[in-house]
Amino acid sequence: MDSTLFAKRTPGFGLKDWEGQPDMARMRAYRLGRVQAELKRLGYAAAVLFDPINIRYASGSRNMAVWTLHNPARYLFVPAHGRCVLFDYHGCEHLSDGLETIAEVRKARSVFFFSGGNRMGERATLWAKELADLLREKIGEERRIAFDKLDPTPLRALEALGYEVGDAQEPCELARSVKSPDEIACMLQALSVCEAGIYKMQEWLKPGLSEIELWAQFDETNTRLGGEWLECRLLASGGRTNPWFHEANDRLIRAGDLVAFDTDQIGPFGYCADISRTLHCGPGRPTPAQRELYTLACEQIAYNLELVKPGVNVFEFAERSWRIPQRFVEQRYSCLAHGVGLCDEWPSFPHREDIALGRGYDATMVPGMTLCVESYIGEVGGGEGVKLEQQVLVTENGYQLLSTFPLEERLLTAG
User: How many angstroms separate the CA atoms of 394 and 189, rounded?
Assistant: 18
Give the count of beta carbons closer than 10 Å to the beta carbon of residue 198: 23
Residues ≥6 apart with Cβ < 8 Å to 242: 331, 378, 379, 382, 383, 384, 385
pLDDT of residue 116: 80
pLDDT digits (tens, 9 = 90+) for 211-220: 999 999 999 9
- In one-letter notation, the amino acid at residue 238 is G
Identify the bridge partners of residue 279 per DSSP, sorted by sequence position.
Answer: 259
265, 292, 375 from 244: Cα distances, Å? 18, 17, 11
pLDDT of residue 16: 62
Predicted structure pTM score: 0.94
List the chain residues with pLDDT less than 70: 1-5, 13-20, 413-415
DSSP for residue 151: -
pLDDT of residue 414: 56
Is residue 51 within 8 A of residue 150, CB to CB? The reply is: no
User: How many angstroms separate the CA atoms of 105 and 134, rounded?
Assistant: 12
- Reference 13, options 236, 156, 189, 265; nearest CA is 189
One DSSP character per residue, 89-107 reads -TT-GGGGTT-TTEEEEEE
User: How many angstroms separate the CA atoms of 347 and 358, rounded?
Assistant: 16
| Angle formed at CA 287 by CA 262 and CA 259, multiple of 5 degrees | 20
Helix (H, G, I), strand (E, B) or coil at 234: strand
Count Cα neighbours of 204 within 13 Å in the Cβ-side half-sphere.
20
pLDDT digits (tens, 9 = 90+) for 254-266: 999 999 999 999 9
All domains in the chain, ordered by first residue: 24-176 (3.40.350.10), 181-412 (3.90.230.10)
The 3-state secondary structure of 334-365, one letter per residue: CCCEEEECCCEEEEEECCHHHHHCCCCCCCEC
| 265-266, strands of its sheet edge to edge | 229-230, 265-266, 272-273
User: How many angstroms separate the CA atoms of 106 and 138, rounded?
Assistant: 15
pLDDT of residue 13: 66
Give the count of beta carbons closer than 10 Å to the beta carbon of residue 320: 13
Identify the bridge partners of residue 338 per DSSP, sorted by sequence position.
Answer: 348, 372
pLDDT of residue 1: 54
